[in-house]
Structure 1
Amino acid sequence: MGATVVQLTESKKQIQHTHRTFDDQTKAFRSNPMPSISERRENLKRLKRLILTNQERLIEAIDRDFSCRSKDETLIAEVMPSIQCINYTLKHLDGWMKPSKRHVSMLFQPASNQVHYQPKGVVGIIVPWNYPLYLAVGPLVASLSAGNRSMIKMSEYTPHTSALFKEIIEGSFPGDLVSVITGEADVAADFSAQPFDHLLFTGSTSVGRLVMKAAAENLTPVTLELGGKSPAIVSPDVPMEDAAQRIAFGKAFNAGQTCVAPDYVLCPSDRVQAFVDEFRTRFSEMYPSIRDNDDYTAIINERQYARLQSYLDDARAKGAKIIEINPARENLGDGTRKIPLTLILNTTPDMKVMQDEIFGPLLPVVGYTNLDEAVHYINERPRPLALYFFGYDRGQQQYVVHQTHSGGMCINDALMHVAQDDLPFGGIGDSGMGHYHGKEGFLTFSHHRAIFTKQKFNSGQFVYPPHGTSLHKMIYKLFIR
């Protein structure tokens, strides 16, 4: 009872803090609606210094939240891309900010058309737990580069990282420019209901629907980076060692707790056993042990661990073949929250593991007869956030590219499209809407203001009333054809 009261009191404080901060940022934006490039560059450089100065503390905090999070995974997937996206933005920001010239029809000459990129105002960013640093910093970089004020709601499932990120951000940025909000689900719900000028949410499809519904009350535009069941297609003729190694890396990274992790494999039926054998070999090379191996990340919390175990129990009860890859044959059932990478064969559509996004180290393998069948299987289901094709035949590659839809795609790799600074990242359909990263991030958080300009000479007078003159008829003859 006491703990519940304390939580409610703390939630109330955080909600009040959210409202005050939103008001402060709104007023601050009105007083400086178009920050200069020097202001924006300094904000980005300050953010970069904070990450570099505190990277060891951030790595430690993320490790504590997961109970075991690979230091190298944090460096590779959080620290490095955060720094690289800042560097890329600093290099290109001047060009992005320049107004773009647009065509003017002869009908309206002499005049000029331009698109100016203005800040939207106060941006809300809702961060998930799986990559708490990068999925806070990436949107923040885009928002600051576009000249906005930013409020960031961190996940309640990463309390150590959230508290540290709040400390280092608010110790260097004024609260009316960047502010970090912590708290439970009720705080997040209130946060998403604020009348932001733009709201970016990263998380599950089910919660994304609630966020969009809350945002709709304020006509707040949203960018939704959701998940889904991202397939990996093994082609009929790709060398199996190549496909298995790259899929194993993409699935095992962060123990599969990645929105673009391969969710299931489509493999030629006569090559499934070869895939299983090669996958086992490649995974075992990367992770010869699991229990005390700091390279292999734990499941974030007991709730997620139990969810994944329930998927395994459900699949096993419905006749699936479970292949646990535990190279050292260790006992992992005593609170380590580590799950061996587990292949699931003989799946059926009614299994939970084939219905929900897995978000963990479980990998169903589905056999197919020909590539048409594999593509049809994907297209019958909600559009995924990522799609992976493994095969060196250019014709097969183009067939899959043209006949499927997904937020993004890798050919002969996994995950790496997310790390490309000059590629947009975003979903489609159930996997989200909108894009950010690089220039697309700047554009997402900018208002594209169309400006038509003419000077003293007014060509428009030639279409003014009274109508029906010979001049009108000539204009219609020239321009309506």
Structure 2
Amino acid sequence: MSETEQSLRDILQRLREAQARDPMPTWASRAARLRTLERMLAEQRADFAAAISADFGHRPVEETELLEIYPSVSNLRHSLRKGRRWMRPRRRFANLVFLPARTTLMPQPRGVVGIISPWNYPLYLAVGPLIDALTAGNRVMLKMSEYTPRFSALFAEQVARYFKPDEVVVVTGDAFVAQAFSALPFDHLLFTGSTAVGHHVMRAAAANLTPVTLELGGKSPAIVGPTARLDNAAERILFGKLVNAGQTCIAPDYVLVPRERMPEFMAAARAAAARLYPSLGTQGQYATIVSDRQYQRLAKLRDDAVAAGARSEPLSDATESPTQRLLPPVMLTGVNDGMAVMQDEIFGPLLPLVPYDSIDDAIGYVAAHPQPLALYLFEQDRAVIDRVLSRTHAGGVTINDTLYHIAQHGLPFGGVGPSGIGGYHGEAGFRTFSHVKSVFHQSRVNGAGMLNPPYGPRFRRMLELLKRLG
């Protein structure tokens, strides 16, 4: 065993021992940890935003405030308001023949939760599951991404400053550390990242029979319906695609557009991009790509598609800058499923447009491809909306907008099939990181003894009675 692996196991053991001393933390203890996290976010928000921007080369502070800090604080306050109620045992009726016995469902912390967070929203996708795990009464280990080294180091430093070393621990490091981390025998493991890496995480967890929540990705479609308000659809799709320069797991990956409305949609998209980013290359409100590797990958997806017959339609007159990793957004028309841009999750500001002839064709196209993390539908006809919802699968859906289903406290966030396993957020997150223990309370006065051996006529009469009662 390497020194790194031993160090990680020592941290896990320390957290396990602390959890064993207090296996069912009171609400006061849980709330205190949540308020500590809230205080850390309030006091360090400017430094966190600056570190994230430095890691990306440039990311607007406004986007970090809107998409990372605000939802983290909102989730935290929601859990502080609701958590005490979530942790109460819930009464259930015993089966008729067992009355007057009673039953309860008792939520218990799973123990020590492991969280592996990604680079694209390094604060929100670490803090979100952390909130849920703390609300459920767990101790937590977090592995931060090596692709945002400044933020990861700062977050680890501040967590160590605000939290006790047996409450929450943050570790940093490369892929080897991540591999060793995922192999630890956690009581639950949550991973957010690519589908390819998700396979490795699930295999590592399986060796310990560790339950997993996998938040993956895939190609999330946007469908512009036959009666969609086209200007609104274009603006909201462009917003969802271009915040963080498209480096969002639930960004619209491609758009299905009625064939006869393609020119109109493209014009509306250009107008929307000009409104949202009037000076895209100079105003500082458009993020750059996080690394040279990601920049080159996106440029290759675009260039290979054009070489194979697609057409690149610029959404801005900004000049591309490989040295600054500034990648202006483009639409891609004339794409087909043989192109890598239509096979791989894009995770950047490239927007393929796919024409369709009928809404059933659009539904069939989505249904014929792997189940996505998100689906977006722009449509006014209720019957068409119901048809799309009932005939497609996706982790989550937003109607007549993009992204915002992830911000709803009452909706679990998660994927389906290749886009993920399980979900979290709000009460759903509390349930994910809790074991809901079933408890049967036998009444002092009961007839259970009438079913004891030796099995004779009385037993058979009672069994027949139980069958009739159901």
| TM-score normalised over the length of structure 2 | 0.98
* Shift in Å, 1:14: 4.5
Partner of 2:129: 139
What SS does the corresponding residue of 2:158 show, helix, strand or coil? helix
Alignment of 1:161-310 (within 5 A): 161-310=151-300
1-side partners of 2:441 and 2:26: how far apart? 23
Per mean C-alpha deviation after superposition, the further-off stretch among 143-152 and 288-297 is: 288-297
306, 318, 325: which one pairs with 1:330? 318
What SS does the corresponding residue of 1:377 show, helix, strand or coil? helix
Q: Quick one: which amino acid aligns to residue 442 of structure 1?
A: F
Alignment of 1:7-46 (within 5 A): 14-46=4-36
Superposed CA deviations along residues 11-55 of structure 1, whole A, max 9, x for unmatched, are 965444322111101111111111110000000000000000000
Q: Quick one: which amino acid aligns to residue 170 of structure 2?
A: V
2-side partners of 1:330 and 1:444: how far apart? 45
What SS does the corresponding residue of 1:54 show, helix, strand or coil? helix
1-side partners of 2:124 and 2:286: how far apart? 19
> Could you tell me whether the CA contact under 8 Å between 1:14 and 1:181 is conserved in 2?
no
Unaligned runs of 5+ in 1: 1-10
328, 352, 362: which one pairs with 2:350? 362
Unaligned runs of 5+ in 2: none
1-side partners of 2:387 and 2:223: how far apart? 12
2-side partners of 1:109 and 1:198: how far apart? 36
Q: Quick one: which amino acid aligns to residue 420 of structure 1?
A: Q
* Shift in Å, 1:455: 3.6
Superposed CA deviations along residues 218-242 of structure 1, whole A, max 9, x for unmatched, are 0000000000000000011212101
365, 387, 395: which one pairs with 1:377? 365
1-side partners of 2:403 and 2:4: how far apart? 35
122, 136, 146: which one pairs with 1:156? 146
| TM-score normalised over the length of structure 1 | 0.96
> Could you tell me whether the CA contact under 8 Å between 2:97 and 2:466 is conserved in 1?
no
* Shift in Å, 1:459: 1.9
User: Is 1:395 the counterpart of 2:383 in the alignment?
Assistant: yes
> Could you tell me whether the CA contact under 8 Å between 2:223 and 2:255 is conserved in 1?
yes
2-side partners of 1:75 and 1:141: how far apart? 18
User: Is 1:97 the counterpart of 2:81 in the alignment?
Assistant: no
Partner of 1:456: 444
> Could you tell me whether the CA contact under 8 Å between 2:295 and 2:322 is conserved in 1?
no
1-side partners of 2:403 and 2:153: how far apart? 28
* Shift in Å, 1:101: 1.1
> Could you tell me whether the CA contact under 8 Å between 1:298 and 1:338 is conserved in 2?
yes
1-side partners of 2:324 and 2:280: how far apart? 10
What SS does the corresponding residue of 1:115 show, helix, strand or coil? strand
2-side partners of 1:12 and 1:86: how far apart? 37
User: Is 1:87 the counterpart of 2:77 in the alignment?
Assistant: yes
Q: Quick one: which amino acid aligns to residue 366 of structure 1?
A: V
* Shift in Å, 1:96: 0.2
2-side partners of 1:330 and 1:246: how far apart? 21
2-side partners of 1:474 and 1:93: how far apart? 44
Q: Quick one: which amino acid aligns to residue 39 of structure 1?
A: S
Instruction: Provide closer, same or farther for how the CA distance between residues 60 and 12 of structure 1 changes in structure 2, counting only shifts above 3 A.
Output: farther
403, 407, 413: which one pairs with 1:419? 407
> Could you tell me whether the CA contact under 8 Å between 1:421 and 1:438 is conserved in 2?
yes
* Shift in Å, 1:60: 0.3
2-side partners of 1:61 and 1:12: how far apart? 31
What SS does the corresponding residue of 1:465 show, helix, strand or coil? coil
What SS does the corresponding residue of 2:414 show, helix, strand or coil? coil
What SS does the corresponding residue of 2:217 show, helix, strand or coil? coil
Q: Quick one: which amino acid aligns to residue 411 of structure 2?
A: L
User: Is 1:469 the counterpart of 2:441 in the alignment?
Assistant: no
2-side partners of 1:446 and 1:136: how far apart? 18
User: Is 1:130 the counterpart of 2:120 in the alignment?
Assistant: yes
2-side partners of 1:99 and 1:61: how far apart? 42
2-side partners of 1:208 and 1:280: how far apart? 36
> Could you tell me whether the CA contact under 8 Å between 1:462 and 1:472 is conserved in 2?
no
Superposed CA deviations along residues 67-102 of structure 1, whole A, max 9, x for unmatched, are 110111100010000000000000001110010111
> Could you tell me whether the CA contact under 8 Å between 2:221 and 2:256 is conserved in 1?
yes
Q: Quick one: which amino acid aligns to residue 56 of structure 1?
A: A
> Could you tell me whether the CA contact under 8 Å between 1:205 and 1:430 is conserved in 2?
yes
328, 331, 350: which one pairs with 2:338? 350
1-side partners of 2:74 and 2:4: how far apart? 32
Partner of 1:405: 393
1-side partners of 2:3 and 2:243: how far apart? 37
Give the aligned length: 469
2-side partners of 1:277 and 1:14: how far apart? 54
Instruction: Provide closer, same or farther for how the CA distance between residues 20 and 470 of structure 1 changes in structure 2, counting only shifts above 3 A.
Output: closer
2-side partners of 1:427 and 1:54: how far apart? 31
User: Deviating runs (4+, > 4 A) in structure 1?
Assistant: 11-14
Superposed CA deviations along residues 172-225 of structure 1, whole A, max 9, x for unmatched, are 111211000000000000000000000000000000010000000000000000
What SS does the corresponding residue of 1:310 show, helix, strand or coil? helix
2-side partners of 1:463 and 1:120: how far apart? 36
> Could you tell me whether the CA contact under 8 Å between 1:385 and 1:427 is conserved in 2?
yes
Partner of 1:447: 435
2-side partners of 1:291 and 1:283: how far apart? 12
2-side partners of 1:454 and 1:56: how far apart? 56
1-side partners of 2:79 and 2:321: how far apart? 45
Instruction: Provide closer, same or farther for how the CA distance between residues 15 and 69 of structure 1 changes in structure 2, counting only shifts above 3 A.
Output: farther
1-side partners of 2:428 and 2:3: how far apart? 35
What SS does the corresponding residue of 1:308 show, helix, strand or coil? helix
* Shift in Å, 1:149: 0.6
